[in-house]
Structure 1
Amino acid sequence: MVNFADDVPGYLSIRMAAPDGPVAEIAEVEAWAARERYPRILSAGSPVFGVARERSEGGWELCSMMVETQPQSAREDLGMFCRRQAAEAERAGDAEAQRRYLAAAERLEWEKIDEVELEVRYRVVRAERYIHSGPDGPEPPRPSDPDDHREVGAADSLDPDTGFVMDPALPTGVSAGVLKADLVGLVPAEGAFPSEVREDMLRSGRTHPGVVLLPAAFTVAERVNGKWRPNGMMDAPTPFRARDILSMRLRVAEPVERRLTDRRRARYAEAADRLDVEQGCELTVEDRLLRIIRVERAVRFGPDGPEGPRPSDHDPEDPIMVLDQKLRAQGVCLDEDAPIVLDESAQEFQRLFEAEMARRGKPLPPPAEDEA
């Protein structure tokens, strides 16, 4: 590995340090074993987006989970963050800060902007997603990965993203440093991506040559016709949360989406029961093989900080007020007080969801006023 001079820019550095305790030592051993067993680095599909703020002491801190699949959703998260900050400023009696935050939130309702500057800079940031794969398929969670437990409620669950400090100059373990070097050196094969996507990838390698690894996330892959592919489930922060989402899908979403008969629904429920009891990483339901897999996420860094959305990223949604304006021009007026009419599939989904929440002993959201 190349040893750079001490004055190399922080975003270009890859600094490594020895593990600082027994837990870190175990994680380092597992990471090296995983490199042997799952040597291939593959794309895990579309990127994810979140919100980060620049720190005066260096680096950027995540203000949200990196789970949004479209930039506009992260912009809306930033707008909600600004409104919460405005409310805090109002309680503190800081009228000027309240005004600035509200102005930023209102601007985000009309414009596709990826950065606002208040007391510090806030930015929509982008992370690429990767999986390690080997002869037996994609890598499952590692024993050392932080995890939740059954008795922990969603509100108290682990959230490794929020508050995570992204700083390329901070030292990492040796295995993480080598992975960063691997990702820096990845070059998209010609023909593997649409031309505009590949051009953006190559451009990003020049404008944002550094890499910061986020905490691992977890999702579900399915073996289809001899090949593994992500099944479209959103990333979860821990293996348990990924199992929990899959269990919910097997009982609620998939019976509706696949139009399952009562007999087949029972098989899916039995598979979900096994998943809940065994807490394993692999599950067979009918002829389907599903696996909880580990997802590495990497944020590119340049001289000005973390990378934001790229021009080729899927970004079809309009800001909320622009969408409202377009609908009104089409003669569509959104009545917030009008009752929501669900089609047959949506009604079935709601029935199954309510039954599952009751089975879990969790309270349901309060009904709307027109349903009370």
Structure 2
Amino acid sequence: MAELGENVPAYRTIRVSGPDGPVEAVADVEAWQARERYPDILSAGGPLFGVIREREAGGWVLVSSFSGLAPQDARDSMGSQFRMRAQEAEKAGDLEGKAECMRAAERMEWETLDELAVLGVRYRVARAECFVRSGPEGPEPPRPTDPDPMEPGEAYRAPDPTAGFVFDPVIATGMSEGILKVELLSMVRKAGTVPDDVLEDSRRAAYTHPGGMMLPATFMTAEKDRRGWRPDSSATSTTPQGARDTLTMGLRVMIPWQLGLDPQERVPYSEAADRFDEEPADELEVEGRLFRVVRIERLVRLGPDGPEGPRPSDHDPQPPVMVQHQQQLAAGLISEDEDENAPIELDENTQRLATLFHENEARRLAVRERRESSGRSSDSRDA
């Protein structure tokens, strides 16, 4: 039965307001222009998972970012949250609270739980769907108003824009984002494009969680091949520079390792990475390969009881950590008698990867030292 007027529940409404300031106004204009230049909205791979906590004031708050590629990744993060709460309770002298938190943390190591109440507060694994705008020019790159505060190589130190993010349908959004939200909420998987269970879950979610909220955009790199653009990796970054850093890491470490390149053959890739650091851009071409930094939109669906959790069809290959441990023991892959402190012996291929990684880390630290030294010298001259 249709719900009209004041009977429409909050989670099914989209509240729109004017921009809070000039930056927000420009961002709204850019979002509207993106609709014309990149009119197609495509799935950007599998969902991401994070941990949320219910608030006394209403709604839910994000306590662990949407970085998990599978639900179990977020469950592990939820267990870590309970251990941190146990430490806080211990410092406060609340031994009963500490014991409750530790029991919850230990349950997460053995059981597949997507929601658990601890100290009277509900925690949940939440699911975010990822989308990318695309057009004749390919996928949408970052927008000028997307925050990008860090130097090359230092993006991992950028603050997480989703820290403390609140999921509450009464929070208003801009006009362009509101329209995008309507478009994304109406999208369901098409028959024949995905397995039947994925299709059924997609259709069910449109009814069980018909509302939604947009998360701040993230960024990743894509490579163009004869079939079009494809993700260069499954990793996403909170800033465009984070995606660039992931790409330069790939050029200096992963690509040479995967292709088995010798030092001379690595030169074109390392030189391209150096150019990308010196003059950050949204595209890079090297050895006939074209890469682009791509902007990713993320939607969390909302229902009567808050954000959507994992779906039965979501890829979830790993059991909880202690179940994995027992399975490995039973299969003879590990032994209870093994010395956990014994050094790990790397095979030749892994040693080569480790060498490339350490070389890149030494280079990054040297660049940081030069940058900081230059800053100190400048401050000294100004004084």
TM-score tier after normalising by the smaller chain length:
over 0.9
Kindly indicate whether the alpha-carbon contact (under 8 Å) linking 2:58 and 2:168 is maintained by their aligned counterparts in 1: yes
Identify which range, 240-249 or 171-180, moves more after superposition: 240-249
Which residue pairs with 1:338 in the alignment? 342
Q: How many residues align?
A: 362
Q: Does 1:228 align with 2:229?
A: yes
Instruction: Name the aligned partner's letter for residue 350 of structure 1.
Output: A
CA distance in 2, matches of 1:362, 1:191: 52
Which residue pairs with 1:32 in the alignment? 32
User: Within 5 Å, which residues of 2 pair with 1:127-138?
Assistant: 127-138=128-139
Which residue pairs with 1:188 in the alignment? 189
Kindly indicate whether the alpha-carbon contact (under 8 Å) linking 2:124 and 2:309 is maintained by their aligned counterparts in 1: yes
User: How big is each residue's C-alpha offset from its partner over 1:312-355, in whole Å with a ceiling of 9 and x where there is no partner?
Assistant: 11101011111111122223315422211112121111111111
Which residue pairs with 2:85 in the alignment? 85
CA distance in 2, matches of 1:183, 1:114: 24
Secondary structure of residue in 2 paired with 1:214: strand
Kindly indicate whether the alpha-carbon contact (under 8 Å) linking 2:153 and 2:364 is maintained by their aligned counterparts in 1: no
CA distance in 2, matches of 1:255, 1:133: 30
Secondary structure of residue in 2 paired with 1:163: coil
CA distance in 2, matches of 1:97, 1:7: 40
Which residue pairs with 2:301 in the alignment? 300
CA distance in 2, matches of 1:171, 1:4: 20
CA distance in 2, matches of 1:16, 1:80: 36
CA distance in 2, matches of 1:233, 1:208: 26
Which residue pairs with 1:367 in the alignment? none
Which residue pairs with 1:358 in the alignment? 362
User: How big is each residue's C-alpha offset from its partner over 1:154-180, in whole Å with a ceiling of 9 and x where there is no partner?
Assistant: 564120122111122211000010001
User: How big is each residue's C-alpha offset from its partner over 1:211-257, in whole Å with a ceiling of 9 and x where there is no partner?
Assistant: 11111000011111040111224010000111111111110111111
CA distance in 1, matches of 2:100, 2:55: 19
Q: Which has the larger helix fraction?
A: 2
The TM-score, its normalising length taken from structure 1, stands at 0.93
Instruction: Name the aligned partner's letter for residue 82 of structure 1.
Output: F
Instruction: Name the aligned partner's letter for residue 51 of structure 1.
Output: V
User: How big is each residue's C-alpha offset from its partner over 1:284-336, in whole Å with a ceiling of 9 and x where there is no partner?
Assistant: 01111100000001111111111111111110101111111112222331542
Identify which range, 347-356 or 258-267, moves more after superposition: 258-267
CA distance in 1, matches of 2:152, 2:225: 34
User: How big is each residue's C-alpha offset from its partner over 1:135-171, in whole Å with a ceiling of 9 and x where there is no partner?
Assistant: 0000000010111221794564120122111122211
CA distance in 1, matches of 2:3, 2:148: 36
User: How big is each residue's C-alpha offset from its partner over 1:50-74, in whole Å with a ceiling of 9 and x where there is no partner?
Assistant: 1011111121111112111011111
Kindly indicate whether the alpha-carbon contact (under 8 Å) linking 1:220 and 1:233 is maintained by their aligned counterparts in 2: no
Kindly indicate whether the alpha-carbon contact (under 8 Å) linking 2:60 and 2:166 is maintained by their aligned counterparts in 1: yes
CA distance in 1, matches of 2:254, 2:234: 11
Which residue pairs with 1:366 in the alignment? none
Kindly indicate whether the alpha-carbon contact (under 8 Å) linking 2:152 and 2:241 is maintained by their aligned counterparts in 1: no
Secondary structure of residue in 1 paired with 2:311: coil
User: How big is each residue's C-alpha offset from its partner over 1:114-136, in whole Å with a ceiling of 9 and x where there is no partner?
Assistant: 11102311101110100000100
Identify which range, 9-18 or 157-166, moves more after superposition: 157-166
Kindly indicate whether the alpha-carbon contact (under 8 Å) linking 1:215 and 1:296 is maintained by their aligned counterparts in 2: yes
Identify which range, 296-305 or 181-190, moves more after superposition: 181-190
Kindly indicate whether the alpha-carbon contact (under 8 Å) linking 2:42 and 2:131 is maintained by their aligned counterparts in 1: yes
Which residue pairs with 2:322 in the alignment? 321
Cα shift at 1:4: 5.7
User: Within 5 Å, which residues of 2 pair with 1:237-248?
Assistant: 237-248=238-249
CA distance in 2, matches of 1:27, 1:356: 36
CA 1:238 to 1:3, structure 2 compared with 1: closer, same or farther past 3 Å? farther
User: How big is each residue's C-alpha offset from its partner over 1:77-135, in whole Å with a ceiling of 9 and x where there is no partner?
Assistant: 11111101111111111112111111110000000101110231110111010000010
CA distance in 2, matches of 1:347, 1:330: 27
Kindly indicate whether the alpha-carbon contact (under 8 Å) linking 2:152 and 2:245 is maintained by their aligned counterparts in 1: no
Instruction: Name the aligned partner's letter for residue 183 of structure 2.
Output: D
Secondary structure of residue in 2 paired with 1:215: strand
Instruction: Name the aligned partner's letter for residue 9 of structure 1.
Output: P
Please, which runs of 5 or more residues in structure 1 have no aligned partner? Answer: 364-372
Secondary structure of residue in 2 paired with 1:188: coil
Kindly indicate whether the alpha-carbon contact (under 8 Å) linking 1:68 and 1:74 is maintained by their aligned counterparts in 2: yes
CA distance in 2, matches of 1:130, 1:9: 26
CA distance in 2, matches of 1:296, 1:31: 11
Please, which runs of 5 or more residues in structure 2 have no aligned partner? Answer: 368-383
Cα shift at 1:201: 0.4
Which residue pairs with 2:96 in the alignment? 96
CA distance in 1, matches of 2:6, 2:347: 63
Query: RMSD value over aligned CA atoms?
Result: 1.8
Which residue pairs with 1:126 in the alignment? 127
CA distance in 2, matches of 1:323, 1:42: 35
Identify which range, 190-199 or 335-344, moves more after superposition: 335-344
User: How big is each residue's C-alpha offset from its partner over 1:5-34, in whole Å with a ceiling of 9 and x where there is no partner?
Assistant: 244211101111010111100101111111
CA distance in 2, matches of 1:326, 1:188: 35
Instruction: Name the aligned partner's letter for residue 307 of structure 2.
Output: P
Which residue pairs with 1:370 in the alignment? none
Kindly indicate whether the alpha-carbon contact (under 8 Å) linking 1:200 and 1:312 is maintained by their aligned counterparts in 2: yes
Kindly indicate whether the alpha-carbon contact (under 8 Å) linking 2:153 and 2:245 is maintained by their aligned counterparts in 1: no
CA 1:73 to 1:335, structure 2 compared with 1: closer, same or farther past 3 Å? farther
